[in-house]
């Protein structure tokens, strides 16, 4: 404990004000987790990369097209009857790592499967000239993305000489988990089943439950949390709010490594939003990367050597350092410009404008606190209003339209009751997104697996000695269900 306290105090004393541009803490955390997983699990399978020319609009004839990137791993494929695992890309650049390791690769190895990974339109390198211009964003939708997958299936069947014995299984996590479930729902003649991990299929504009789950996670002994930890985080944020009320912005800027002045209301809002994003990221990816775990945060927050506010400052600085940020950018004007920026990124890494457009036009998903009595973060007002204003400022989409578009999404896909078949929904209790997913069996073949103590898409990782027994068992359940789906085609071969 003495060594731990010394470490905390050293970081409390080393406070840098070096400028650094940061707009999306959660994005940086996600990339850090991905890098860690790749370094830990990579198999270095031979994976080929190609492109397929796709119509920009599948529903009205047009000459406009774009090149969609896809990847292939044939290492485990038993050609005569091996299934096809379709890894669905989502709100970011696709990587060869997506079909180089993980549970999907273990499934392909077990069943002799062919692996495809298909990048989502408008993300990564699956783009076209001026794709970020507002008038072209209308082609960015889940419906168009599903049609892309349908075209890909037809193309791949011919290119790889697949037969009816090579049954397709859609596979995805988070938003791609939605797409996996919806692909089976809307195109059941192309895929015999789908694995939808951490899939928030219920669109929701004001998503208060995200922070409710985060709060409960910090109180859960199963992952090293406690009620005291939860209460101390709440006390720390209450002190943040007191300093804001007293207009003591300099103290906050110093203690939490702000890159800029936060005295303007918009910058103050972004500041408290970023603080919450750090803790949310730790919950969402609990134990999935070195140092990213609730237990460590609670070890700090329940230590009586310093106040909860002081330890919150330490925790924020510790994780900024982990993701290689020297300070936290809380400039709202710069933040908003990211979503307005139509400059093409030649590396395909940028996804802020695209994904935010999708939330404005289909999903909402805005994680709020202002009217949420269970929230343990700051109570600075106008939380949801800022998210809705981003839609108006960046895409000229008014708030009322967002509510209507979210309602349409649920009507179109069915929300938490999609009424499909041969879909398995996998969720973990520590993952805040499970609040919008399917948690109970809907039919005999539309089933839910709920894992206590696991985080976002944890079941998509390969088996590890450190996994909870329930997580290992969930992967076995998924594999067994897939085996049942494949049995008719295999018995035909016999």
**DSSP helix/strand/coil, 348:** coil
The separation between CA 23 and the C-alpha centre of its own chain, rounded to angstroms, equals: 17
Question: 489 pLDDT band (50/70/90 cuts)?
Answer: low
Percentage of residues in the chain having pLDDT higher than 70: 94
Mention every residue, 6+ apart, whose C-beta is less than 8 A from residue 412.
143
Q: What are the residue numbers of the active site? A: 174, 431, 456
Q: Which of 416, 12, 488 is nearest to 178 (CA)?
A: 416
The pLDDT of residue 5: 37
The pLDDT of residue 12: 35
pLDDT of residue 6 exceeding 50, the answer is: no
CA dihedral 366→386→16→278, nearest 10 degrees, is -10
The pLDDT of residue 188: 97
The pLDDT of residue 20: 29
Which domains does the chain show, CATH number per domain? 35-202+415-486 (3.40.50.1820), 205-407 (1.20.120.980)
Averaged pLDDT of the chain: 92
Q: Report CA Rg, the chain.
A: 23
The pLDDT of residue 4: 37
Q: Which of 20-34, 114-128, 372-386, 396-410 has the lowest mean pLDDT?
A: 20-34
- Other Cβ atoms less than 10 A from the Cβ of 306: the count is 17
Average pLDDT over residues 85-105: 96
Average pLDDT over residues 179-195: 98
**DSSP helix/strand/coil, 156:** helix
**DSSP helix/strand/coil, 144:** helix
The pLDDT of residue 355: 95
pLDDT of residue 116 exceeding 70, the answer is: yes
Per-state percent for the chain, helix, strand, coil, to nearest 5: 50, 10, 40
Beta bridge partners of 71: 49, 117
Query: Do the Cβ atoms of 383 and 208 come closer than 8 Å?
Result: no
User: What is d(CA 306, CA 177) in angstroms, rounded to the nearest whole number?
Assistant: 42
The pLDDT of residue 350: 86
User: What is d(CA 308, CA 118) in angstroms, rounded to the nearest whole number?
Assistant: 45
Beta bridge partners of 448: 425
The pLDDT of residue 493: 44
Query: Do the Cβ atoms of 451 and 458 come closer than 8 Å?
Result: yes
User: What is d(CA 197, CA 181) in angstroms, rounded to the nearest whole number?
Assistant: 9
Tell me whether residue 380 is exposed, middle or buried, using C-beta atoms within 10 angstroms of its C-beta: 0 to 12, 13 to 18, 19 or more.
Answer: buried
pLDDT of residue 203 exceeding 80, the answer is: yes
Average pLDDT over residues 4-27: 41
CA dihedral 342→22→455→458, nearest 10 degrees, is 60
pLDDT tens for residues 34-44? Answer: 898 999 999 99
Query: Do the Cβ atoms of 138 and 78 come closer than 8 Å?
Result: no
Question: 290 pLDDT band (50/70/90 cuts)?
Answer: confident
Largest CA distance in the chain: 76
Question: 8 pLDDT band (50/70/90 cuts)?
Answer: very low
User: What is d(CA 262, CA 250) in angstroms, rounded to the nearest whole number?
Assistant: 8
User: What is d(CA 140, CA 262) in angstroms, rounded to the nearest whole number?
Assistant: 34
pLDDT tens for residues 66-91? Answer: 999 999 999 999 999 999 999 999 99
The pLDDT of residue 9: 34
Predicted TM-score (pTM) of this structure: 0.93
User: What is d(CA 238, CA 93) in angstroms, rounded to the nearest whole number?
Assistant: 38
Helices (H), 42-141: 103-111
Query: Do the Cβ atoms of 485 and 313 come closer than 8 Å?
Result: no
Question: 18 pLDDT band (50/70/90 cuts)?
Answer: very low
Average pLDDT over residues 144-155: 98
């Amino acid at each position: 404990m003495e060594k731990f306290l010394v470490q905390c105090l050293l970081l409390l004393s080393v406070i840098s004000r070096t400028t650094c541009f940061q707009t999306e803490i959660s994005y940086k955390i996600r990339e850090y987790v991905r890098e860690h997983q790749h370094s830990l699990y990579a198999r270095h399978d031979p994976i080929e990369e190609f492109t397929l020319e796709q119509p920009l609009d599948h529903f009205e004839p047009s000459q406009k097209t774009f090149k969609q990137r896809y990847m292939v791993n044939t290492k485990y494929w038993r050609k005569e009857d091996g299934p096809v695992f379709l890894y669905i890309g989502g709100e970011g650049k696709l990587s060869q790592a997506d079909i180089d390791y993980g549970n999907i690769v273990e499934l392909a190895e077990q069943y002799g499967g062919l692996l495809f990974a298909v990048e989502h339109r408008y993300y990564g390198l699956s783009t076209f000239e001026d794709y970020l211009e507002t008038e072209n964003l209308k082609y960015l939708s889940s419906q168009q993305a599903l049609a892309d997958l349908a075209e890909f299936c037809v193309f791949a069947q011919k290119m790889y000489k697949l037969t009816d014995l090579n049954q397709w299984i859609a596979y995805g996590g988070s938003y791609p988990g939605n797409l996996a479930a919806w692909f089976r729902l809307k195109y059941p003649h192309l895929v015999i089943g789908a694995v939808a991990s951490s899939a928030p299929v219920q669109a929701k504009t004001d998503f208060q439950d995200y922070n409710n789950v985060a709060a409960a996670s910090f109180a859960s002994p199963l992952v090293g949390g406690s009620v005291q930890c939860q209460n101390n985080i709440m006390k720390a944020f209450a002190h943040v709010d007191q300093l804001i009320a007293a207009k003591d912005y300099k103290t906050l800027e110093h203690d939490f490594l702000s890159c800029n002045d936060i005295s303007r209301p918009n910058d103050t809002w972004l500041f408290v939003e970023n603080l919450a994003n750090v803790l949310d990221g730790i919950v969402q990816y609990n134990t999935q990367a070195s140092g990213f775990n609730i237990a460590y945060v609670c070890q700090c927050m329940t230590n009586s050597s310093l106040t909860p506010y002081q330890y919150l400052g330490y925790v924020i600085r510790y994780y900024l350092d982990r993701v290689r940020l020297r300070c936290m950018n809380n400039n709202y004007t710069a933040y908003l410009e990211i979503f307005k920026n139509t400059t093409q990124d030649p590396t395909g890494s940028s996804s802020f404008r695209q994904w935010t457009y999708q939330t404005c036009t289909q999903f909402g998903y805005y994680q709020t606190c202002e009217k949420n009595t269970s929230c343990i973060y700051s109570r600075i007002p106008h939380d949801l209003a800022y998210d809705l204003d981003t839609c108006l400022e960046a895409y000229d989409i008014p708030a009322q339209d967002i509510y209507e578009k979210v309602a349409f999404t649920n009507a179109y896909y069915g929300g938490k009751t999609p009424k499909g078949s041969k879909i398995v929904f996998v969720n973990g209790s520590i993952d805040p997104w499970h609040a919008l997913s399917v948690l109970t069996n809907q039919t005999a073949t539309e089933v839910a697996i709920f894992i206590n103590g696991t985080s976002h898409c944890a079941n998509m990782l390969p088996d590890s000695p450190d996994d909870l027994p329930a997580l290992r068992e969930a992967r076995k359940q998924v594999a067994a269900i897939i085996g049942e789906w494949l049995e008719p085609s295999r018995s035909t071969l016999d």
